C-alpha cells in the first residue's frame, strides 16, 4: 500500500465550515439567509437517505432548507407547477430535484424548467453550455468536488493525461469538461471502449464513475497516478453489506500515488459542493 489516501471527508468538512462562515457573514451584514429547496418524487430508499443528509447539512451550514416530498404517481404537470413556484420564491436560491425521477416523467423537461440561476445541480442545458464554452456556470456538484480534491493533491493539472471512465450527464461528461478547462488531455471511456485496461494505464488522473463494483483493477493503474473513485456500490460480502467503489481499492492503492477511499472520499464532497453552489447562487441573486 504505497498511495496517499485522499481525505475527502476532512476536505468536505473544511468546505462546509467555510460556507457556514460566509453564510453567517451574509446574515449579519445583509440579513440574507441562503435557501435550498430539495424535491423528492417517490420513495427510492437511497434517494431518501441523500435528501435527508442534504437537509441536515443545509441547516448545519445556517441555510434555510425546504423539502418537498411528492408521491411517485404525481403527474409531471404538478411537479412543473411546484418548480415554477420555487423559481418565483425569493427565499429559495437553489433548487435540486433528486434523480432518478419515476419512469412516467421526462427528466430533461423537468430539469430545464428550473431557473438556470437556481440550478445548483448544474444540469440545466444552459449551465451545461456555459461550462462547455468555459463561461461562468453552475457546475455539477460531484465533478466539482473531484476537481477540488485533484487540485489539492496535484496543484496545476495542465498537460496531464486524464481518463474519465463513465459518460453520464451527472458525472462523466461534466468531469471531462472541467478537466479539459484545466488543460488536461482528456479521454472519456465507456462500456464500448476497446482496451480499457490499456487506456487506464496511460492516465496520470483516473476518474472512475461507472457504478460497477471494483471494475477498475490495480494493474490498470499507472504507477504514481491519482485515482478518484466516484462509485458507491452496495455489495454483500462475507455475510454483510459493504460499500465499495468502482476501483479495486486494495490493488490500486499499491500502485497509485494518491487515491480516494470509499466511503470517505468523493461522497462527502458532493453535498459540500451543493452548499457552496447554493451560497454562490444566493450571492449572485443579491448582486
Q: Please tell me whether residue 119 binds ligand GUN under the rule CB under 6 A.
A: no
The residue (of 139 and 165) whose beta carbon lies closer to ligand GUN is 139
Q: Please tell me whether residue 141 binds ligand GUN under the rule CB under 6 A.
A: yes
Reply yes or no on whether 219 is catalytic: no
168 is in an annotated binding site: yes
**Region from 6-14, 20-28, 97-105, 219-227 binding ligand GUN, contact rule CB under 6 A:** 97-105
Burial of 287 (0-12, 13-18, 19+ CB in 10 A): exposed
SS3 (DSSP) at 14: helix
Q: Please tell me whether residue 99 binds ligand GUN under the rule CB under 6 A.
A: yes
Give phi and psi for 265, each to the nearest 5. Answer: -110, -100
Helices then strands, counting H and E runs in the chain, come out as: 10, 11
Q: Please tell me whether residue 101 binds ligand GUN under the rule CB under 6 A.
A: no
Please pick, among 57, 118, 119, 121, the residue that the annotation labels catalytic: 121
Element containing residue 88 per DSSP (H, E): helix 76-88
Q: How far is the CB of 185 from ligand GUN (least distance, A)?
A: 26
SS3 (DSSP) at 284: helix
Reply yes or no on whether 229 is catalytic: no
Please give the DSSP secondary-structure letter assigned to residue 221: S
Q: Please tell me whether residue 96 binds ligand GUN under the rule CB under 6 A.
A: yes
Q: Which three cell numbers stand for residue 59?
A: 441547516
Contacts with ligand GUN in 152-171 (CB under 6 A)? 170
Residue with cell 470517505: 264
Nearest partner of 55 among 39, 43, 70, 44, judged by Cα: 39
User: How many residues sit in the footprint of ligand GUN (CB under 6 A)?
Assistant: 9
Distance of CA 42 to the CA centre of its chain: 21
- Strand pairing class (161-165; 205-208): parallel
**Region from 95-103, 130-138, 184-192, 259-267 binding ligand GUN, contact rule CB under 6 A:** 95-103
Q: How far is the CB of 97 from ligand GUN (least distance, A)?
A: 6
Q: How far is the CB of 3 from ligand GUN (least distance, A)?
A: 26
- Strand pairing class (64-70; 35-41): parallel
Reply yes or no on whether 121 is catalytic: yes
Q: Please tell me whether residue 139 binds ligand GUN under the rule CB under 6 A.
A: no
**Contacting residues toward ligand GUN, per CB under 6 A:** 96-99, 121, 141-142, 170, 270
Active-site residue list: 54, 98, 121
Amino acid at each position: 500500500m504505497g498511495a496517499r489516501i485522499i481525505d475527502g471527508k476532512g476536505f468536505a468538512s473544511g468546505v462546509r465550515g467555510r460556507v457556514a462562515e460566509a453564510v453567517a457573514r451574509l446574515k449579519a451584514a445583509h440579513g440574507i439567509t441562503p435557501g435550498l429547496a430539495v424535491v423528492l418524487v417517490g420513495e427510492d430508499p437511497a434517494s431518501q437517505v441523500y435528501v435527508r443528509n442534504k437537509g441536515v447539512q443545509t441547516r448545519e451550514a445556517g441555510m434555510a432548507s425546504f423539502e418537498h416530498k411528492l408521491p411517485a404517481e404525481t403527474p409531471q404537470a404538478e411537479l412543473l407547477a411546484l418548480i415554477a413556484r420555487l423559481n418565483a420564491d425569493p427565499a429559495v436560491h437553489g433548487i435540486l430535484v433528486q434523480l432518478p425521477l419515476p419512469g412516467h416523467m421526462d427528466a430533461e423537461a423537468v430539469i430545464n424548467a428550473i431557473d438556470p440561476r437556481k440550478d445548483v445541480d448544474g444540469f440545466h442545458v444552459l449551465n451545461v453550455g456555459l461550462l462547455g464554452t468555459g463561461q461562468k456556470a453552475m457546475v455539477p456538484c460531484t465533478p466539482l468536488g473531484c476537481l477540488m480534491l485533484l487540485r489539492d493533491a496535484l496543484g496545476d493539472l495542465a498537460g496531464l493525461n486524464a481518463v474519465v471512465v463513465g459518460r453520464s450527464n451527472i458525472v462523466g461528461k461534466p468531469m471531462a469538461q472541467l478537466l479539459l478547462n484545466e488543460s488536461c488531455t482528456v479521454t472519456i471511456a465507456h462500456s464500448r471502449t476497446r482496451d480499457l485496461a490499456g487506456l487506464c494505464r496511460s492516465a496520470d488522473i483516473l476518474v472512475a464513475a461507472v457504478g460497477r463494483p471494483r471494475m477498475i483493477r490495480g494493474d490498470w493503474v499507472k504507477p504514481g497516478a491519482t485515482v478518484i473513485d466516484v462509485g458507491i456500490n452496495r455489495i454483500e460480502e462475507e455475510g454483510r453489506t459493504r460499500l465499495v467503489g468502482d476501483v479495486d481499492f486494495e490493488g490500486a492503492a499499491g500502485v497509485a500515488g494518491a487515491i480516494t477511499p470509499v466511503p470517505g472520499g468523493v461522497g462527502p464532497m458532493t453535498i459540500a459542493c451543493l452548499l457552496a453552489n447554493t451560497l454562490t447562487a444566493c450571492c449572485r441573486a443579491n448582486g
